[in-house]
Each structure stands twice: as C-alpha cells, then as structure tokens.
C-alpha cells in the first residue's frame, strides 16, 4: 500500500511538472515580474488591473482584458505581425493619440515656462506631490488624448526618472489596449566643464563630447561605443527613443546648430551616423529579442531630412526669419548622403534607423515635381517621392516640434513653424503632412486636429482609404514599441537604474572620448606640454548681456572661465602676470547672434543683419543682394539681404582677453584654449598665442591633461577655420569645405583634418581615409 501511495505521488508530481505552468511570479514595490521558462520575462503593475493568460503553459499579458490571447499579446510572434494585429484593432481616436508626440516634459514639472505643470491644480512646490508623480497635464494627454510618445527633458535623478516611468506605464497599462509609453530624449550626454573626473567614480550620467567633438576624433568605432553605452543609460531612465543623431552636413559655418552635427564632410558624417545608430539600436546578444533589437535597444530618430545645414545667411529655421534652406551650389543631393549611405545602411542587424525627422526648412526650389516651396514635413516630393519611394524608407517619419502649429511671430522661438503653409487651419496642416508621408506630429498633445484631418481625408478619399492610411502609420509606430520589449516589461528597478546610469566604466569611456576630441593647432617652439606646478596667470572673462538660442536674455557676468580648483591641481595660480611663468587664456569662438535684430525691425528696418564669426565689428560689404529666398505672412518684403549692415560678436571681449594678456606677459608664453561651436576667425588673436588648443565642449580637467602631457593630443579639425569673414560670406551655403583657410605664423593651414601632436602635423590612417576627393 505504501508503495502504491508513493507511486501515485510520483505520478502526480510528474503530471504537475509536465502539465503545470512553466512560469513563476514575484512582486516588488507593486510590480509583478513573471519569468517564463525559456521565454520572455513579463512585468505588470498591481494597480493597473491587468491579468495574465496561460497558453501552452506559458504566461501572457491580457492587455485588452478579453480573456483571449490575441496575436499582439503573443510575445512568440514577430514584431511586425503583432503591430499589424494591434493596428487593426485600434479605433481612429487611439491611432490619432499614437500619432502624437508630447511637448517637452520636465520631471517634476516646472512652475513656469513651456515646461510648466500642476499637481492637483497646484505648482509642484506647493502640491505635496512626489517628484515621480504624474502631473495633471500628463494624466490628461495620456488618459484623454491617448498620447503614447513622451519627450522627457530634465529629470531630478535616475531614481526619480525610473519611478516616474513605472508610474506612467502603470497608468496607461490600465487603459484601452494597454499600449506602453515610448519615452524619448534629446541628447543628454554633454559635459559639465567644472565637474571633476575621478577614475573609478560614478556620476549622474556619462559625459561625452558634442557631436562635432566626436567628429574631431575621426573614429566611428568610438561613436558606436558611445551609442552602446548611452542606450544602456537611456533604457535605465525609461527612454526608448533618442531624438538623435543630428546628421545634417553643416555646409553653412554660421548655422547655430553646427556643433550638433558631425561636420560638413559627407563621407565622415555618413560613417559617424551609421556608427551612432548601430550603437543605439543594437542590443548585446544576451539582451536581444530579434534582429538585433532588444532590451537595451533605443530607437534612433535621425534628423533632419533632407538636411537642414544650408540656411540662407546661416539663419536657423526654428524662427520664421530662418525658414529657407538654399542651394546656390546646386548641391541638394549631397546633403542626403549621411542618411542614404549612413543611417539607412547599418552594419548591425537592425538594418536602418527606426525614425526620421524632417527639418523645419523650406528646401527652396528643390521640389522638382510639384514646385512647392513648403516646409519639408509638408512636401510630398521630399517625403513621399524621395524618402519613401526612391530610398524605400518605411520607418516612422515624425515632424519636428511645433511644425503643425500656427506662427505668431517671426522672431520668437516658441511659436508655430508651418513654413510655407501658414494659411492652413490646424486640421489642414495635419492632413497635408499626413498625405505627404508623415506618421507623427512632434510637440502636439491634443488628438482633436488629427481626428479632423482624418475626416478631411474621408471626404476626399473615402473611409477605407483613410483607415488604411492611419493603420499604415500605426504599424510603423507600434513596431518601435514591440521591438524594444516594452509590451512585455516596461518597468524599471530604481536600484538597477541608479547602478547603471553614470557607472564608473561609462564615465571613463566618456572622459577618454573627450581627450581624443581635443585638437592642438599651434605649438610654437614646442611650448607644450607644460610642466606641472608652473606658475600660471588665468584672466577673468567678461560676458556682456545677450540672448541664448531660445531667445532668452542672459545677464552679464565677470568670472573665471575655468574651474580654478581644477587648474590648481596642475599649476600654481597667480593673479599677477609679472609673477607668472605663463598664461592660460580660455575663450569661446566668436558669435554675434542669430542674424536677426528685433529692435531694428521695431524701428522700421527689415531686421536682417549678418551673423559674424569674428570678434571685431563686421560690415557685410560683400553680402548677397538680393537674397535667394524670402517671404513670410508677417513680412511686407521678400528681400532678406543684410548687405552693408554691421554686427559685432556678443563675446567680443574674448579677443581682448588674449591681446591684453599678451601685453601683460611681456614675451612669456600665452596658451589659448578655444571652445568652438562654429568655425571662427582666428586671425584676430592667433599671432598673440604661443600655443592653441581647440575643444568642442569638454571638462576642464581634460584640457589640463592635454596641456600637461598626461595625454597626447590626437584630435583633427572636423571643419575649416576661415581666413576672414569675406571668405565666410563668399562660401556657398550648400557646399562643404569651400572656404579659404587661416594660415598661422608657423605656416600651418587650419583646414579640415589638420591637427598636431607632440611630433608635429598628424598624418595617419584617419587623414588618409578622409582626404577630400
């Protein structure tokens, strides 16, 4: 009898083991984690009301609560199949919400400005809310407008970002079809100049050079490594889409977004774009779901199609005064090379960039089919015929922010940018972009205009046509959410997020990249490297009042342009030039503003002025007249020429820092460090410097390590240093590397790929590979 009982127990155990569920569940902080044997790990919130389904002894999430395993809920199926199934089940309103990309969100929300928000009707500071709570506005656009793509800007900490992500995902998990949030970010890995780097120590997030600084390394593998590291940090913050890289070729040196690009040479920009996207999108094998995509993948949204780097006179299309990209060199095709030969031809298994963002610009007279001069997002030739048809791009196309909004002023940053179609209504703007080939609207939290656009289409083409067009966009958008594993588990561990973001090895990699991005262009008499503990004089920097890129006023200040605490770790600092062995002068490249003077406009002028990249006053005697393009509903003229007008660098006192220090040092060495965002005229100060190093945004400590020989300089110029403003004026906005370059007192020409190390002019594999053809 005992033997029979034992046998029965063994049989029962076998039945349980062979027929029971092959998954187990744990819970932590209100998040349940389900581990499927040999399958996907699921995560869901106890507060969302979601339940599990069991099929073939495996667990699945019943997103739509119908107690049936729908194809989109089956993690065993390919992402495309799941996306098509879900798109077919969505209502027009749900698809309309999916096509929205939120306005900028700060965590927690600010109390004023365009990122302001409230919590139970009160500003955050007065509300008693947690930093990770959803604001009233976020609850509205997620709950009522079906928004599932959210742009995150400033976050209080990695832990707060992780908890906000969990709160937001739990909120939407209980709504409709349970579609998770696809959170995005603009680039967030810049440097804090006065932050000290300590090997083995972590930080808030790894710090890397700007894109133009990465271009100065001429090392695509470094950029791929950055993408791989940044994607891990992004995912730990809950971010699954990067609104980057910016791969416009910066053929117009005065453009104030020059430093966000990989420079103006198409082959280099294409290689860097390919590496960047590969790094962001490709998960390590152990994290892969399928086709290179996985749990550390971040969708890359490459921008700006078809290239926004040729604004007339260097003006930028965030403003009405910069809406026109011009092509006096007939060089439109070359601007697409970083896309067609880089971001769309990856080395990794993800094949091509997940998303594309067209720029605000009107690509003037480039629509050879319809002859329309309208913003790129509205142009069916540029989006439909070129991007979709000729280059066979079937990823998401998302407008830049506020493209489908109404213009209120020509010189204000936060205004609608519906260039060329300003007379259309909001629904008509959405409809025109949709029919051009756009899938998504950046900076729009309200689904109403999208639904009205759908209704316009129904009247013109019928319900069947418009339903099919909406589903086409829905599939593209959902594909990016499925491929990154968000439907299975969008939740984060705050402890893991804290450990990943800014971990020591990531900080080290970023710091090493900063060192490689620094370019030495002059070293008269081999004055560098400097001996440590030399006595140095560092002049203070005066910055006059001005306005930043957003048009926000900036106050004047007088302060040291470098952290003296860091300098003192390398040198003895004195305020008396007579006591010093040498001087260290830290300046920025010359920059005069955005090419528009609102005060002149108010006095009856056109407002158009030259953008000067020299420190002294510049008169545009050789400027183009008339302008190639012009016209805006808020202007009564079309000629935007600034010929014979004057401008002066906002930071003109930087030049005086060099010349006055040269006089005070009385023949002793003057070392100049120049931080560049754009090419700049060096002729005004170069002869007063014994050595010059160029950086594109690095920590002060990295500069000290180069100056003292801890690391040998290896960077190369990813741009040209112009001989003067006349050559800047003469160059063509759409043609790369077409300026006369500065030649210094040592006979060196500051041209593309030029750089020095301790032995002299660098000539290596990089300079050979990227030699201009």
> At 559, is the secondary structure helix, strand, or coil?
strand
Q: What is the mean pLDDT of residues 259-272?
A: 97
Beta strands 100-101 and 58-61, pairing class: unpaired
Question: What are the CB-based long-range contacts (under 8 Å, 24+) for 432-437?
Answer: 432/378, 433/377, 433/378, 433/399, 433/403, 433/404, 434/469, 434/473, 435/380, 435/469, 436/377, 436/378, 436/379, 436/380, 436/382, 436/383, 436/384, 437/380, 437/383, 437/384, 437/387, 437/388, 437/397
Judged against a pLDDT cut of 90, whether residue 110 lies above it is answered with: no
**How many CA atoms within 13 Å lie on the side-chain side of 600?**
13
Residues 611-621: tens digit of each pLDDT: 999 999 999 99
Q: pLDDT-derived band of residue 10, with 50, 70 and 90 as boundaries?
A: very low
Q: Cα(753)–Cα(757) distance, rounded to whole angstroms?
A: 13
How far is the C-alpha of 696 from the C-alpha of 462, rounded, in Å?
Answer: 53
pLDDT of the residue at 23 = 85
pLDDT, the chain, mean: 94
Q: What is the pLDDT of residue 15?
A: 42
Q: CA-CA distances (angstroms) from residue 709 to 529, 568, 714?
A: 5, 16, 12
Is the pLDDT at 199 greater than 70? The verdict is no
pLDDT, average across residues 213-238: 97
Average pLDDT, stretch 654-677? 98
Q: Could you report the per-residue pLDDT of 139-173, keeping only the tens digit for each?
A: 999 999 999 999 998 888 889 999 999 999 999 99
Buried b or exposed e, range 149-171, using 16+ CB within 10 angstroms: bbbbeebebbbbbbbbbbbbbbb
- Per-residue pLDDT at 9 exceeds 50: no
Which region among 87-91, 412-416, 745-749 has the lowest average model confidence (pLDDT)? 412-416
Kindly report the pTM of this predicted structure.
0.95
> Per-residue pLDDT averaged across 646-655, rounded?
96
Tens digit of pLDDT for each residue in 557-585?
899 999 999 999 999 999 999 999 999 99
Q: Render pLDDT for 56-100 as a digit per residue (tens, 0 to 9).
A: 999 999 999 999 999 999 999 999 999 999 999 999 999 999 999
**What digits encode the pLDDT tens for the residues 676-708?**
999 999 999 999 999 999 999 999 999 999 999
């Amino acid at each position: 009898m005992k033997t029979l009982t034992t046998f029965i127990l063994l049989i029962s155990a076998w039945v349980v083991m062979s027929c029971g569920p092959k998954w187990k569940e744990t819970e932590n902080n209100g998040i349940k984690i389900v581990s499927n044997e040999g399958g996907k790990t699921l995560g869901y919130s106890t507060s969302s009301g979601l339940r599990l389904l069991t099929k073939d002894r495996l667990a699945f999430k019943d997103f739509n609560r119908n107690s049936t395993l729908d194809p989109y809920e089956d993690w065993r199926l390919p992402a495309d199949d799941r996306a098509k199934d879900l798109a077919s089940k969505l209502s027009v309103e749900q698809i309309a919400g999916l096509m929205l990309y939120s306005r900028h969100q700060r965590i927690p929300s600010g109390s004023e400005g365009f990122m302001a928000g409230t919590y139970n009707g009160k500003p955050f500071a007065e509300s008693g809310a947690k930093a990770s709570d959803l604001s009233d506005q976020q609850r509205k656009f997620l709950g009522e407008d079906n928004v599932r793509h959210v742009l995150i800007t400033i976050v209080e900490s990695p832990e707060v970002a992780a908890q906000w992500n969990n709160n937001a995902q739990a909120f939407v998990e209980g709504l409709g079809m349970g579609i998770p949030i696809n959170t995005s970010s603009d680039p967030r890995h810049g440097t804090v100049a006065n932050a000290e780097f300590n090997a083995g120590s972590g930080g808030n997030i790894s710090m890397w050079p700007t894109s133009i600084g990465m271009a100065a390394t001429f090392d695509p593998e470094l950029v791929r490594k950055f993408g791989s590291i940044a994607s891990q940090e992004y995912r730990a913050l809950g971010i699954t889409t990067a609104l980057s890289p910016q791969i416009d070729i910066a053929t117009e040196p005065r453009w104030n977004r020059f430093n966000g690009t990989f420079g103006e040479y198409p082959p280099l920009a294409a290689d860097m774009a390919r590496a960047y996207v590969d790094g962001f999108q490709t998960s390590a094998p152990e994290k892969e779901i399928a086709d290179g995509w996985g749990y550390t993948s971040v969708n890359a949204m490459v921008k700006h199609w078809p290239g926004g780097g040729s604004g007339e006179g260097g003006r930028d299309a965030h403003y009405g005064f910069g809406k026109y990209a011009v092509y006096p060199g007939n060089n439109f095709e070359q601007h697409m090379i970083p896309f067609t030969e880089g971001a769309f031809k990856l080395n990794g298994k993800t094949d091509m960039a997940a998303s594309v963002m067209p720029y605000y610009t009107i690509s003037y007279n480039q629509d050879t089919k319809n002859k329309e001069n309208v913003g790129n997002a509205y142009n069916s030739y540029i989006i439909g015929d070129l991007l979709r048809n000729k280059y066979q791009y079937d990823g998401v196309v998302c407008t830049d922010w506020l493209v489908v909004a109404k213009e209120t002023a020509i010189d204000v940053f936060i205004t609608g940018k519906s260039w060329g179609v300003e007379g259309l209504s909001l629904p008509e703007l959405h409809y025109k972009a949709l029919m051009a080939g756009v899938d998504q609207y950046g900076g729009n939290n309200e689904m109403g205009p999208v639904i009205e656009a759908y209704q316009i289409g129904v009247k013109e083409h019928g319900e069947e046509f418009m339903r099919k067009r909406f589903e086409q966009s829905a599939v593209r958008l959902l594909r990016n959410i499925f491929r990154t594993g968000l439907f299975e588990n969008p939740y984060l561990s705050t402890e893991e997020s804290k450990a990943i973001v800014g971990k020591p090895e990531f900080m080290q990699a970023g710091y090493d990249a900063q060192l490689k991005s620094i370019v030495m262009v002059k070293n008269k008499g081999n004055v560098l490297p400097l001996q440590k503990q030399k006595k140095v004089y560092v002049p203070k920097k005066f910055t006059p009042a001005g306005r930043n890129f957003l048009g926000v006023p900036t106050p004047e200040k007088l302060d040291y342009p470098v952290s003296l605490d860091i300098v003192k770790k390398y040198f003895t600092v004195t305020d008396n030039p007579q006591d010093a062995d040498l001087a260290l002068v830290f300046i920025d490249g010359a920059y005069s503003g955005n090419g528009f003077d609102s005060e002149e406009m108010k006095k009856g002028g056109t407002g158009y002025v030259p953008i000067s990249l020299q420190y002294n006053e510049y008169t545009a005697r050789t400027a183009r007249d008339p302008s190639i393009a012009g016209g805006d509903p808020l202007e009564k003229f079309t000629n935007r020429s600034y010929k014979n007008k004057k401008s002066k660098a906002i930071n003109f006192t930087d030049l005086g820092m060099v010349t006055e220090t040269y006089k005070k040092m009385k023949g002793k060495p003057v070392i100049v460090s120049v931080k560049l965002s754009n090419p700049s005229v060096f002729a005004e100060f170069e002869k007063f410097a014994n050595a010059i190093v160029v950086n594109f945004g690095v920590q002060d400590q990295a500069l000290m390590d180069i100056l003292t020989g801890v690391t040998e300089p290896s960077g190369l110029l990813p741009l040209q240093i112009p001989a003067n403003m006349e050559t800047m004026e003469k160059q063509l906005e759409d043609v790369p590397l077409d300026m006369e370059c500065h030649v210094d007192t040592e006979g060196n020409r500051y041209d593309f790929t030029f750089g020095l190390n301790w032995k002299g002019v660098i000539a290596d594999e990089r300079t050979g590979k990227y030699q201009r053809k």
